[in-house]
Structures are given as C-alpha cells and as structure tokens.
Amino acid sequence: MKSWLVIGQYLPGNSFIHRLDPRTKLIIIFSFVCVLFFANHWTGYLLFTTFTIVSIVLSKVSVPFLLKGITPVWFFIVLTFFLHILITKEGEILWELGWFQVYEAGLQRSIEISWRLLILVVFTSLLTLTTAPMEITDALESLLGPLKRWNLPIHELALMMSISLRFIPTLMDETERISKAQASRGVDLKSGTLKDRMYAFIPLLIPLFIGAFKRAEDLATAMEVRGYQGGEGRTKLRALQFSNLDIIAAIGYVIVLILFIYIRQ
Amino acid sequence: MIKFQDVSFRYRDTDAWVIDSLNLTIKENQKVAIIGKNGSGKSTIAKLISGLLLHELGHIYVENDQLTPENLLDIRKKIGMVFQNPENQFVGMTVKEDIAFGLENRGVKREVMLEKIVDILEQVSMLEYIDREPQHLSGGQKQRIAIASAMVLEPKILILDEATSMLDPVGRKEMMSLVETLHNRKPFTLLMITHELNEAILADRIIVIEKGKVVLDGTPRELFTHHNHALDELGFPAPYTIQLAKGLEKNGFSLEPFPLDQEELISALWKLHLKR
C-alpha cells in the first residue's frame, strides 16, 4: 500500500501506552492539554517535559519517527516563535537589527509558547500513534454517551465515523482505478499549472462521488436486512475494559498534577 | 414457505408494472432459482420478500405470516440476504466485526456472539481469516463472509441476489458448493436470483421470470427436456453438457436418465457404451 494511503499514523504495538484503555488516554490527553496552558514558570515546563518524555519512552515509539510525524506542524511552531518575538516588547533589548529588536521578555515568551505547542503536538500524536482510529471512535462514543440524554446522536456519529474509516481503503482503491482509467483516456493529473491540475481532478471526482453514493445505498440495504434499527437495544462486540494499567496511568498523572499545583504555589 | 398472491409492484411515479400480478409458492427448504434477463423483475422479487420494497397489490406470505409494513421487521428476521457487490455489504472493520453486526443488532450477549462467530466461520472454512480486514480478502472470500454474516442469524430463508455475478468462475463454483454444503447440513429455503443457467441447475426448481411474470416453472430436468426451445428463445441457451446430450439424442443415442451436469453425462455415456 502506498504511504499516503495510510490514514492516521497508528503503529500497532504492545507497549504500556498501547495497552491503556483509549478512554484513559483521551481523558489524560485532553486534561493535560488544558493544564499545559497554566504553566508559568520554568519548573512547570520541566515537569511537563519530563512527563512527555516518560510517556514517549513508555510508548516505545521511536523519537525520529515521532518527530517526522509532526513535520507539518514545525512551520507553525517556528511561526509562533517569531510572532511572539516581534510582538512582545518588554525588558532589555538583547539584539537589534534596524527596526527589528529582540527583547528579553520576548525571547522568553516565545520559547515558552513554542515549547508548549511542541509538547501539545507530541502528546496528541502519541495518542494517534498508539491508538487505532476505531478505538478512538469507541472511546468517544463511550465518553460522550451521557449526552444521549439530551438527544444528541452520539451512537449515529460513532457509526458514521467507523463506516467512514471502513470505507477509506475502498475509496482509495477506487480513486486509483478511476485515475488510471482517466489517464488512459488522456487526462493528465501530474503536470500543468495548479489550475489545470484542479480542473483535471473533476473527471476523477465525479465518478468517485457517484460510486460512493451507490455504495452507500447498497450498504444501507445490507445493514437494514441484517436488522439494524439504530443504537437502541444493541450489544457491542468490541468492549472497552479498564484494567490495572489504567489505574497506574491515572495515579501517575494525578501525581504530576499535584506536583504542578505545588510548584505553582 | 414463501407465497405470492396476485402481487403487483411498480416504482413510484411510473406506470409500468415491474411485477405483474405474480402468483408463486415456494415450499419450505426448497432450493429455487429465479432466472431472468436484466430488467425482468427477478431482483425485485427478492426485495419484495424482504420488504425492502413494498408491493402495491396482492399479498405476500412469509412463513405463513402476511407481510405488512407493521410486521416487516419481524419478517426480516427470518430472511438472510447476500447481494451482488462483495465490497458494499461488508459493514465491519474486520471479518469478526462484520459477522457480529447482525448479532449486535439483535442484542446478543458478547460471549454468545464470539461463540457463534467462531462456529459460523468454521462452517464456511474462513476461521483463519477472523481478524482480517476486507481489503485483504478476495471477492470470493468476502462473499463467503457475507453468507456467514447472513447465516449466523439462523434465517429460515436465504436469498442470494445475484451474489456470484461479480466473482470469477472458481469463486462462483466455490460459493455454490458452500451453499450446497450448508443446505445439506441444516436445511433452509434457498432462493437464488441469477442470470446464470449453470447455477440454476443446482436448484430443485427453476422459475423463469419475464416482464414481471412467471413464464416457465419446473425442475431443471423438466425444463431442459421439455422446454429447451422456450428457454433458448428467452435468451437462456442450454449449458454445453445439455446441448451435447440433446445432440446425441437427435442422432439416435438416447441417454438415460437425461444428464444435467458433466458427471451425469459421463456415467450416462458409460452406460451407453457398456450396452453396446
């Protein structure tokens, strides 16, 4: 399979982080990302950096691979860095070039902000690297389950997500087939100006959409015949189960939080 | 048991009847092939039985219950269906999850589900593929899983709606022999909608549909011995074996009993040979 066909970046494995319940991972990451923005001193950053490094080690994901995975985000991290240097004009001037001045507070602020961003990105990609997309869907369905009481279609959303995931490889295959078929009829997808290439995509997209609608109809029929009537009264084969590992992870995370509150005071 | 009583159906906003006052009774555990050209209405029959389309006139009975919009869901529980495109009826991310889908819908407990999945996969000899994703299965394998997904719900009626038409000849043959094996093990009413006469021969009874009406109805033997011309005119030339036997008959070599497949032909030829 081509590399661009790999959706998400899930790396199957059996590490501590891999074996955690996806709900635990989602809760920890979500709350960690929030807490991250309360850091106001270098000790706080040190604590969070350590926590991140420990998590990476426990996940057994190789660091170069992790960094490669976040290449698209580097641009934003660098951009944030320079933006803050430009905007903040406090403290002593450290360096000057014409109208461009670097202030002490500016440098400090931009390092803090971009470091925060880096931790955030590394942490979230750790989630997608160690958790299959399907597990994330299940965890979301389970965690958002209480919202069903207010008639929010949580089950339906989760089902939509899982069917989309199921059909991504199918539609990818179809895209390739159609693009070959169109290429054999002289459609050129690879050269020309951006505008030309965008126009060349139309004969690819239309059959793809028509095909997808046909598939959707067939699938709906197949689901109906097998007795699908919505989420009510349905059992599930894939069951999420908290284990001792989740308790350990939760305790570890709570310790980090307590330390952080202590440092802030 | 399936019974059609003067059933008519047409698509909304059209005048032409797709199914035109059709009368039909299919006995329990019978293997029936419904053949017809494209647009003859043969697939519509399958959709009417399962209530995916609702008939306009007449009555349909499934297992002695009349099909109405109210009891449609209960009737559907008695029916398993396998469709044409192997890809588009695969709901789960893996083989296991796909088979579980129907069980989940019926609220079967998780432990029972796992047992049933293993059991049915054994029956269709696909147990080693239990954790495979659909994109790593061939078309024939996907159709086997589709059969397993239908049969795991223990339906009284299995409908194959052109289920082999997208498979290669080997896949086709394997699928038909699988259905045969399952039927022998535990009988169910089998309805094959097809335009392949070769497959129809495996049935106990062949029904030929044209313009929403039954034009021929009988056992394969009856149809091939007495209605050969009619079949030919309807666009279903007899399979090679039967043409050969007919040709031999014309030239004074009558075969007894009239052979329907290659094996029967060979044994009839041997019999003829030994007689001389």
Please write the tens of the pLDDT for every residue from A78-100.
Answer: 898 888 888 877 777 777 777 77
Q: Distance (Å, rounded) from C-alpha A43 to C-alpha A260?
A: 9
pLDDT confidence of residue B57: 92
Residue of B nearest to A174 (CA): B87
Judging contacts by C-beta atoms under 8 Å, the chain A residues touching residue B151 are none
pLDDT confidence of residue B35: 92
8 Å CB contact of B110 and A237: yes
User: Is residue A156 predicted with pLDDT exceeding 70?
Assistant: yes
Residue A42: which pLDDT band, with cuts at 50, 70 and 90?
Answer: confident
pLDDT confidence of residue B262: 82
Instruction: Give A185 or B159, the one with higher predicted confidence.
Output: B159
| CB of A176 less than 8 A from some CB of B | no
Residue of A nearest to B108 (CA): A235
Say if residue B134 is preceded by a cis peptide, omega within 30 of 0. no
8 Å CB contact of B134 and A170: yes
pLDDT confidence of residue A7: 46
Domains of chain B (ranges, CATH numbers): 2-220 (3.40.50.300)
Give per-residue pLDDT as tens, A196-222: 888 878 888 899 999 999 999 999 999
| CB of B137 less than 8 A from some CB of A | no
| CB of A134 less than 8 A from some CB of B | yes
Q: Distance (Å, rounded) from C-alpha A116 to C-alpha A81?
A: 11
pLDDT confidence of residue A68: 80
8 Å CB contact of B50 and A225: yes
Cβ contacts of B262-265, under 8 Å, gap ≥ 24: B265/B241
Torsions phi, psi for A77 (to 5 deg): -65, -45
Alpha-carbon distances, residue B146 vs B69, B80, B86, B123, B223 (angstroms)? 26, 10, 7, 13, 31
pLDDT confidence of residue B114: 93
Give per-residue pLDDT as tens, A230-259: 877 888 888 888 889 999 999 999 998 998
User: Is residue A1 predicted with pLDDT exceeding 70?
Assistant: no
Judging contacts by C-beta atoms under 8 Å, the chain B residues touching residue A165 are 93
Residue A2: which pLDDT band, with cuts at 50, 70 and 90?
Answer: very low
Domain ranges of chain A: 8-131+241-264, 145-225
Judging contacts by C-beta atoms under 8 Å, the chain B residues touching residue A158 are none
User: Is residue A77 predicted with pLDDT exceeding 60?
Assistant: yes
8 Å CB contact of A215 and B88: yes
| CB of A215 less than 8 A from some CB of B | yes
Give per-residue pLDDT as tens, B57-90: 999 999 889 999 888 888 999 999 999 998 899 9
pLDDT confidence of residue A4: 38
User: How many Cα atoms sit within 13 Å of A110 on the Cβ side?
Assistant: 20
| CB of B153 less than 8 A from some CB of A | yes
DSSP letter assigned to residue B239 = P
Choose among A169, A218, A233: nearest Cβ to B89: A218
pLDDT confidence of residue A8: 59
Task: Enumerate the β-bridge partners of residue B19.
Answer: B9
| CB of A233 less than 8 A from some CB of B | yes
Average pLDDT, chain B: 90
Q: Which of A99-103, A189-193, B45-49 has the highest mean pLDDT?
A: B45-49
Distance from CA of A237 to the nearest CA of B (A): 6
Name the token pair of B111.
Answer: 């432990």
| Interface probe, candidates A228, A235, A240, chain B, greatest B C-beta count within 10 A | A235
8 Å CB contact of B91 and A222: yes
What does each of the 276 residues of chain B score in pLDDT, given as a tens digit? 899 999 999 988 888 889 988 999 999 999 999 999 888 888 899 999 998 999 999 999 998 899 998 888 889 999 999 999 988 999 988 999 999 999 999 999 999 999 999 999 999 999 999 988 888 899 999 999 999 999 999 999 999 999 998 888 888 889 999 999 999 999 999 999 998 888 888 899 999 999 888 999 999 888 888 888 888 888 888 888 888 888 888 888 888 777 887 888 888 888 888 887
Q: Which of B46, B54, B64 is nearest to B150 (CA)?
A: B46
8 Å CB contact of B135 and A237: no
User: Is residue A126 predicted with pLDDT exceeding 90?
Assistant: no
pLDDT confidence of residue A24: 93
pLDDT confidence of residue A66: 83
DSSP letter assigned to residue A61 = -
Judging contacts by C-beta atoms under 8 Å, the chain A residues touching residue B54 are none
Is residue A4 within a helix (H) or strand (E), and if so which, with residue range? none
User: Is residue A3 predicted with pLDDT exceeding 50?
Assistant: no
Q: Give the count of Cβ contacts less than 8 A between chain A and B.
A: 85
Query: Between residues 89 and 128 of chain B, which touch chain A (CB distance below 8 Å)?
Result: 89-93, 96-97, 100-110, 113-114
pLDDT confidence of residue A158: 87
| CB of A212 less than 8 A from some CB of B | no
User: Would you give the distance in Å from CA A174 to the centre of its chain?
Assistant: 26
pLDDT confidence of residue A209: 93
Q: Which of B225, B256, B219 is nearest to B238 (CA)?
A: B225
Q: Distance (Å, rounded) from C-alpha A110 to C-alpha A123?
A: 20
In angstroms, the first-to-last Cα distance of chain A is 53
Residue A5: which pLDDT band, with cuts at 50, 70 and 90?
Answer: very low
Choose among B85, B113, B153: nearest Cβ to A237: B113
Residue bearing tokens 């807490």 = A35
pLDDT confidence of residue B188: 94
Decide if B190 contacts B158 (C-beta within 8 A): yes
Task: Enumerate the β-bridge partners of residue B34.
Answer: B193, B207
Judging contacts by C-beta atoms under 8 Å, the chain A residues touching residue B104 are 234-237
Q: Which of B232, B233, B227, B225 is nearest to B264 (CA)?
A: B225
DSSP letter assigned to residue B188 = -
Judging contacts by C-beta atoms under 8 Å, the chain B residues touching residue A170 are 87, 134-135
8 Å CB contact of A222 and B107: no
Judging contacts by C-beta atoms under 8 Å, the chain B residues touching residue A235 are 103-104, 107-110, 113
